[in-house]
Structure 1
Amino acid sequence: MPDNTDGTPKYHQIANSIRQQIITGELKPGDSVPSERRLEKDWNVARPTAADALRLLRHQGYVESRHGSGTYVRADLPGGHGRRFARSRTVDVSFGPGGGSVEVLLTEETTVPSHVADAFGQHADVTGIRRQVLINDENGTPSELRTSWFTKELAEQAPQLLDPAKSPESIDDYVTAQTGRKATYGRDQVSARLATAAEQKRLHLPNPSAVLEQHLILFDATGNALRFDESVFPAEVWKLLYPYPLAESPSEDRS
């Protein structure tokens, strides 16, 4: 059990310890993860702290809970860890249909929301980089409002993330060139809701309007979160949400 020498919350320490066991193969896909009760005892923490650690691991895509059974290491691990992702994978993070346009709305250093900090494995109230773009289709109609988050540490290696003149389409290649890190795997969640007033204005929507919100976490080859995208789509827009390969069973993997 590591000592808390850098102010990292206890639940992050617990999650990082389990995550490291998964990455190194000590815990394999399908293996059971220590329960809240076991973490409570082993780490000398309250039950809510243990629960937060498992919640963080679920959010990062490393474990899944099975009702009435427990928590287990996922088969489709971030970064391709585990034999079900033996082959190299790519992620489609394109900016809309051909013939469309992308407008940079803002680039800034600001406080990262707690759910984004969780994805990056950081504690609350950290600062990071936010880039927001508006994607228009070939007719000039807004089709997606995308907010991309990066860690402050990554931005120190890639300072042009704060440059609004930096082309959104070139960001991924730029980050890879500056850091050696590349998005190789993605995990997303989607939810339908009503658009906010700001989203209605940006997407030219009436009030009220339904939108689809997508959270996409992009991981590098080591399983570390590289970017967190929050995209909002008008209800009438069709968008391919799963361009990255889905998991294959070992029998299907002929590589």
Structure 2
Amino acid sequence: MAESLPLPDLDPISDRAVFRQIADHIREAIERGQLTEGDRVPSEARLMQHYGVARMTIRNALQVLQSEGLTVAEHGRGVFVRSHPPVRRLASDRFARRHREQGKAAFIAETEGAGGKPSVDSIEITETMPPADIATRLQLGAKDRVASRSRRYLINGQPVETAVSYVPLEIAKGTQIMEPDSGPGGIYARIEEKGYRLDRFVEEIKSRMPLRHEIRALKLAPGVPVFHLVRTAYAADGTPVEVCDTVMSSDAYVLSYELPAR
């Protein structure tokens, strides 16, 4: 299909660089569905022949598409339209108590509800001193320690998110929060079992480019940003009981919230 893809001609009077015009043409083919996920982009030889330009011009055009996260290069095979991971919708009710009462943590309930297969790996649990900003959010003293739970979330085997939860050690100690399997309903169910009935969550979200270790963990294509979300969970009496520091592949998520107009 790639070699038979119709390609427009360059606009000789445009002030847009030639390599960017070529990138525009291929991008439009992807957006229109002429090239779909997994399809091979026309070869360098065909693009050189069609446009009458040097190989470096074609490579610059292909690099633009890779930097935008639209394509991925496979050594010895060519350049392909990038396959995107399944989209998980972050709904405003994902931490509703009914999910915990059904024995499901938020990620599992939401992913299964969308028809995906959730899994978790790379689980690490430590007792540690929290970073300064986490200690501030949890209103901890200078010597207070936390249980840190680090893990990676996958949908249908594709990594989409990493998260580190910080729970005051006085809450986590002696519970399954300290174990790889946190039990039915996840750590929020364990926190409520300790008498801290959850009342509200406060989230702060920003978009940024990923760090090197995040690219490796989430297997991100060049040019794909991440959502960096920090959530603080509060008990009914106003006590902060958990902070979750999360990094999410931006092309695996849609942020969807229902907000009351009052």
In the superposition, the TM-score normalised over structure 2's length comes to 0.53
| Equivalent of residue 106 in structure 2, options 83, 94, 117 | 94
For residue 123 of structure 2, what is the aligned residue in structure 1? 105
Shift of 1:123: 3.4
Partner of 1:70: none
Would the aligned equivalents of 1:136 and 1:144 in 2 still touch at CA under 8 Å? yes
Contact 1:194–1:211 (CA under 8 A) maintained in structure 2: yes
Q: Deviations over 1:31-78 (max 9, x none)?
A: xxxxxxxxxxxxxxxxxxxxxxxxxxxxxxxxxxxxxxxxxxxxxxxx
Unmatched segments (≥5 aa) in structure 1: 1-88, 250-255
Retained in 2: the 8 A contact 1:90–1:183? no
Amino acid paired to 1:135: Y
What amino acid does structure 2 have at the position aligned with 1:132? S
Separation in 2, partners of 1:227, 1:239: 24
Q: Quick one: distance in 1 between partners of 2:246 and 2:256?
A: 11
CA 1:226–1:247: 2 relative to 1, 3 Å: farther
Identity of matched residues, %: 21
- Of 100-109 and 110-119, deviating more is 100-109
Amino acid at match of 2:134: V
Cα contact 1:114–1:125 (8 A) shared by 2: no
Contact 1:172/1:182 (<8 A) preserved: no
CA–CA separation in structure 1 for the residues paired with 2:241 and 2:261: 24
> Could you say which residue in structure 1 is the equivalent of 2:246?
231
Cα distance in 2, alignment partners of residues 125 and 113 from structure 1: 12
Quote the residue 1:148 is aligned against.
165
Shift of 1:208: 5.7
Question: Is residue 218–residue 226 contact of structure 1 (8 Å, CA) maintained in 2?
Answer: yes
Deviation at 1:170, TM superposition (A): 2.7
Q: Aligned pair in 2 of structure 1 residues 222, 103: CA closer, same or farther (>3 Å)?
A: same
CA contact (8 A) 2:176 2:183 kept: no
* Structure 1 counterpart of 2:7: none
Superposition map of 1:1-150 within 5 A:
90=96, 94-95=106-107, 96-98=110-112, 99-124=117-142, 126-137=144-155, 139-150=156-167
**Alpha carbons 1:217, 1:226 under 8 Å: kept:** yes
Q: Runs ≥4 in structure 1, deviation > 6 angstroms?
A: none
| Number of residue pairs aligned between Structure 1 and Structure 2 | 156
User: Matches of 1:247 and 1:130 in 2, distance apart?
Assistant: 34
Q: Which residue of 2 aligns with 1:162?
A: 178
Deviations 1:101-129 (A, max 9, x none): 12252111112011111111123463211
Q: Which residue of structure 2 aligns with residue 220 of structure 1?
A: 235
Aligned-pair distance for 1:167? 4.1
Unaligned runs of 5+ in 2: 1-94, 100-104
The corresponding residue for 2:39 is none
Once superposed, what is the RMSD of the aligned Cα atoms? 2.6
SS at match of 1:161: helix
Work out whether residues 224 and 251 of structure 2, in 8 Å CA contact, stay in contact via their aligned partners in 1. Answer: no
Change (3 A) 1:226 1:135: same
Q: Taking structure 1 as reference, are residues 208 and 110 closer, same or farther at Cα in structure 2, changes over 3 Å only?
A: farther
